[in-house]
Amino acid sequence: MEIRIYGPGCRNCVNLTKNAKKALEQTGVEAEIIKVEDMQDIIEAGIMTTPAIGIDGEVKIKGRVANVEEIIDLIKANN
Amino acid sequence: MINRFAELLVYNLMGLDSATRLGSSVHFFFYDTIKIIFLLSVMIFVISIIRSYFPPEKTKLLLSKRKKVTGNILASLLGVVTPFCSCSSVPIFIGFVESGIPLGITFSFLITSPIVNQVALVMLFSLFGWQIASIYLLSGILVGIIGGLVIGKLGLEDQVEEYVYQIQAGETKVEELSWEKRISYAKAQVTEIVSRVWKYVIIGIGIGAFIHGYAPADLLSQYAGADNPLAVIAAVGIGIPLYANVVGTIPIAQALIGKGVAIGTALSFMMATTALSIPAMIILRKVIKPKLLTVFVTVVGVSIIGVGYMFNFLVNII
């Protein structure tokens, strides 16, 4: 599994990354977390408000910091 | 109730005298801090629920169908309800321009959005009452409409960085939010915003309390009262570099008004701190060339000054 965190590196993106790591620990799923910080890449992914999180190439939640439970649900749904 | 609590705390528990400067300053400090933090939490929650219905994708779709003045009006209104933090202004700008929304309409949105800041509105409401808060809201929308119209008329499309036109924005689905998710989003917003701004609220109220108790009223009303024609311009000039303290400036402004500074002057000052901050300019510089950035600052600056004078004039009539 591949988790992408989109955002230019502001505080919200850092928090989202933390939540994603916690969600992975709790589910025990092996996944790679990739940070997408380049604005052009973020826009080409179709994102207008950061932070956003995507799993296996599909953007799932944008414009807010998803909490740990939500990310766990996403991981389970895609695993 | 909050007043009773503050009185109890300051006059009874701390043993300060309500007739002394120190006593009244400390009371003012506790009363305002508690009141604002409480109101902030409640109102950010409500505002966030409303905002969860207006994701930027929806705004983009609504605006891409408009071309004329109605577009500027709509953009400015949507600027009030569409949630975004300053780090998202670049993707929003590119997304709008890329989908064919005219530059002027894009700017109407980008100007109003930071001016009508939810935290600023809450503070205005709690410190000045709903009348001033509403007038601030309307003035912010007005500045966005005028600013966008002027920028649109100037035909500065070539002053947008070339790469903006080349980006192909991707398409994503807008997430369907359940009530449960809207509530958890609103709760997260309250925690995030309150934990970020509480220090500025306290610093601002602290300085405000000091002014309240100690600043000489004659001097301030002489220099920044309604009679000084240059006060509004000076207030905007001072407000631009003061971004970090946007929340803190409101209680200071309130205390200053209490000492005879004209309301329009204080409002212009607040708008300048939110709409024209140096960090926001640095972010915008990534997508627009210096000439357009200069036009943006000038147009918004002049509109804010205009609103300040209009306000001072209206208050004098009433």
pLDDT digits (tens, 9 = 90+) for B141-195: 999 999 999 999 998 888 988 888 887 777 766 777 788 888 888 888 888 888 8
Nearest CA in chain A to B172: A46
- Does the interface ipTM go beyond 0.85? no
Place of tokens 């009679």: B227
Q: Is the pLDDT of residue B245 over 60?
A: no
Domain boundaries, chain B: 2-163+185-317
The share of chain B scoring above pLDDT 90, in percent, equals 14
Does A67 contact B88 at a Cβ distance shorter than 8 Å? no
Nearest CA in chain A to B164: A40
Amino acid at B210: F
Counting the structural domains of chain A, the total is 1
Chain pair A-B, CB pairs under 8 angstroms = 74
Catalytic annotation, pick one of A3, A5, A13, A47: A13
The verdict on whether A13 is a catalytic residue reads yes
Q: Is the pLDDT of residue A39 over 90?
A: no
